Amino acid sequence: MAKKIEQEIRDKIVEKIKNDGMSAAKAAQEFGISTNTIYNWLGRGKIGFDTLEIGKLKRENQQLKIIIAELMLDSSKGKKNR
């Protein structure tokens, strides 16, 4: 028998995916449930793959911001050493 997951936990997982850009796979691993279960919840809530794509783009954007900051820091260090 499948374990029942409280609505509060479901809502928290969906919110992390929708708003924080967490991937369904990462959420599944963190909360110990299957990705299929999460995709079912997302489908029931009328949250489509567009929302998942937005989450993915948010993660990529954050990674790019970090890369840019590191490059700017390296660039400023190079100018000081001249």
Question: Hey, what are 48's tokens?
Answer: 């489509």
Measured CA to CA, the distance from residue 20 to residue 31 in angstroms comes to 15
pTM, to two decimals: 0.53
Task: Name residue, tokens 């990705």.
Answer: 35
The pLDDT assigned to 16 comes to 87
Q: What is the largest CA-CA distance in the chain?
A: 68
The pLDDT assigned to 7 comes to 86
The pLDDT assigned to 78 comes to 77
pLDDT in tens, the chain (82 residues): 567 888 888 889 988 887 888 888 999 999 999 999 988 888 765 555 566 777 778 889 999 999 999 999 988 887 766 5
Kindly report the backbone phi and psi dihedral angles of residue 41, in degrees, each rounded to the nearest multiple of 5, phi listed first: -60, -45
